[in-house]
Structure 1
Amino acid sequence: MPDMPTRIQRRRTKGWRKPENCVIVTRPSRFGNPFTISGALENGYGETPEEARGYAFEAFRSWLRGSETWWMGPRAETTRKRLLDALPELRGKDLACYCPLPPEGKPDYCHAAVLLALANPTP
């Protein structure tokens, strides 16, 4: 049985290259999270970047599941549908985002973790 795909921290350091079998899901890719840490902080959803990251993660996860609580803009439904329709392209691939990797045993509050779970459902 093949290994479960994982999340990789994308780097801006000289010489870093995207690994094989990996898709970059950062903004502005079509898989980027429309909910930002800076937006969360500006709107009072957390006092620290870590708290705001949790908000952006939860907003993204809820929004993809159909919640209209987080984003009701004119393109929200079209954007959600386009992203969900493209999920099969991520199946079996590692995903790279700039979010820091969580410490061992801690939850991963990165939108790429949401995408991994949706693209690779476990039975």
Structure 2
Amino acid sequence: MPGYPVRIQRKRTKGWKMPPNTIYVGRPSKWGNPYKTGDKACDARCYRKELEWYLDKNSVISKKHEQILAGLKKLKGKNLACWCPLDSPCHADILLEIANRG
């Protein structure tokens, strides 16, 4: 039985390949984080803001938000790859959590 999907840090290392069963969710994919990032404090705030954005059923839904919510089923059971360091907050963690809920 395969384990729970995980976040993969995408790399530019020669010979590195994205593992099987992995979808790239960084920019410029349709899954890319809509918030500006850069420093760890901002990244943590952006992470929280994005989680609230996904979970707020009363928010004004942009076209991008609508596309993401409609496509979450495609992410279920998949590892998600982004450029964020694994020890930093990342929108891919949010996508993993939401896509793989009960």
With normalisation by structure 1, the TM-score equals: 0.75
Residue identity over aligned pairs, in percent, reads 40
C-alpha displacement of 1:13: 1.8
Greater Rg over alpha carbons, structure: 1
Residue by residue, what CA displacement relative to the aligned partner does 1:8-66 show, whole Å, maximum 9, x if unpaired? 1111222211110000000010000010114xxxxxxxxxx110110111121111122
User: Which of structures 1 and 2 has the larger relative contact order (alpha carbons within 8 angstroms, sep 6+)?
Assistant: 2
AA aligned to 2:45 is: Y
Matched, 1:4 2:19: no
Q: Which runs of 5+ in 1 are unaligned?
A: 39-48, 103-107
Matched, 1:101 2:101: no
- Which of 64, 69, 85 is the matching residue for 2:54? 64
AA aligned to 1:54 is: A
Aligned length: 101
How far apart, CA to CA, are the structure 1 residues paired with 2:49 and 2:22?
Answer: 24
Partner residue, 2:77? 92
